């Protein structure tokens, strides 16, 4: 039976088990996960937080991370500015990026979610408001969510991957993981 792990990756942690080529040691998955033989199904940038799925099953890993399977990935995104309806509509239609048009996303403004505090906290600007959106995409280009929000005029301040398919990070604090049966 395949091993499957849900991990709440903290901000600043590399989404891999080793850190090669850095003069200073940076935290990696091996600082949190002591189970051998599992590998990330997809990536989550060092400056992003939230759900990572790890498995020892190559076929499952491909089904989770390969865009051709269109597995939805939902993010809670704190953006700079007070996002307008037209910007949400653009996200829903697909946004033109340098590497092409994104698939249509589900996008909605949400109330400030009850999530853990980030360490370090985001930079707050007194004269610039911010708000939260929930964005669900079915592809996974490099830094896609950040590029999408910037393209509509609302740069990302904080990015939390909340779910992948039916798996969610809801009950895990940063740095915690659980095996799924």
For the chain, where are the E strands, in sequence order?
4-9, 39-40, 49-55, 73-80, 96-97, 100-101, 106-110, 130-137, 156-164, 167-168, 177-179
**Residue 72, Cβ density class (10 Å: 0-12 exposed, 13-18 middle, ≥19 buried):** middle
Nearest to 175 by CA among 18, 22, 5, 2: 5
Which amino acids are annotated catalytic? 45
Place of tokens 């090669």: 20
Place of tokens 């997809």: 42
- Cβ pair 30, 175 in contact under 8 A: no
Q: Cβ of 31: how many Cβ atoms within 10 Å?
A: 15
């Amino acid at each position: 039976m395949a091993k499957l792990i849900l991990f709440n990756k903290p901000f600043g942690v590399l989404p891999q088990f080793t850190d090669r080529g850095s003069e200073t040691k940076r935290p990696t998955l091996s600082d949190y996960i002591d189970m051998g033989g599992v590998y990330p199904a997809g990536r989550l940038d060092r400056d992003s937080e939230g759900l990572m799925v790890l498995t020892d099953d190559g076929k499952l890993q491909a089904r989770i991370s390969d865009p051709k399977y269109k597995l939805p990935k939902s993010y809670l995104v704190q953006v700079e500015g007070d996002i307008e309806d037209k910007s949400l509509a653009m996200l829903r239609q697909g946004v033109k990026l340098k590497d092409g048009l994104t698939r249509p996303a589900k996008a909605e403004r949400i109330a400030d979610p009850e999530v853990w505090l980030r360490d370090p906290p985001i930079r707050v600007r007194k004269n610039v408001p911010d708000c939260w959106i929930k964005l669900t995409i079915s592809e996974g280009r490099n830094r896609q969510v950040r590029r999408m929000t910037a393209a509509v005029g609302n740069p990302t301040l904080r990015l939390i991957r909340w779910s992948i398919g039916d798996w969610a990070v809801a009950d895990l604090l940063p740095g915690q993981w659980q095996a799924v049966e």
